[in-house]
Amino acid sequence: MQIINGHKYFALPKGGKTRVVDMPPSVARELVEHAKAYPSLKVELPWGAEPERERKKHDLALTTMYGNAVAANTWNTEIWKPALAKAGVIPPLAKGAKPWQWQAAPRDGFHVLRHTYASVVLEAGESVVTLARWLGLASPTITLDHYAHFMPEAGRKGRRAIDSLLDDQVNDLAGRNSPESPQARS
């Protein structure tokens, strides 16, 4: 859902592409529980930026208390930022400040969850190619450009592989030169 000139409408995500992401069972269970407690609502909006375009109905898992589509700005100022403040990540809203005047850096925006997801998935060893597809990025190169710095343990597998190779070679050499080896008896 997007907003242009104050009008909400349905549109494909950035880049005009749909995405399919493998969902772990834990996330599926949480979504099932959420859907039981807060059933989705059909929301009718135009498909595309012009309000006079064909209207379509879609089930939305998250809606306002009035059954409307949630606007990103509303979510950010009324849900996300207060949650961050309650958790102590950002300062509370200053006295007398407007609801949108949070003292939070851009890194504290909701978009950080995308970066968190990417960094956790990469750290767990998922392939960059798969993550690029899940994130809807055009190539693994773009994924690495954006997320390689989120991989503090990058290189661990490579270091282990070389250690293992060298350890095996040292053990092989020691084995050939040990008193029990056939080479030592001849």
pLDDT, greater one: 70 or 86:
86
**In this predicted model, what pLDDT tens digit does every residue of 27-69 receive, in sequence order?**
999 989 988 888 888 877 778 777 677 888 888 887 777 777 7
Q: In this structure, what DSSP letter does residue 71 have?
A: P
pLDDT averaged over the chain?
Answer: 79
Q: What is residue 72's predicted lDDT score, i.e. its pLDDT?
A: 75
By CB neighbour count within 10 A (0-12 exposed, 13-18 middle, 19+ buried), where does 57 fall? exposed
Q: What is residue 169's predicted lDDT score, i.e. its pLDDT?
A: 66
The number of beta carbons lying within 10 Å of the beta carbon of residue 21 is 14
Q: What is residue 30's predicted lDDT score, i.e. its pLDDT?
A: 93
Q: What is residue 33's predicted lDDT score, i.e. its pLDDT?
A: 92
CB 67, CB 42: distance < 8 Å: no
The pTM of the whole model exceeds 0.85: no
Is the pLDDT reported for residue 25 higher than 90? yes
The number of beta carbons lying within 10 Å of the beta carbon of residue 122 is 21
**Amino acid letter at 50?**
E
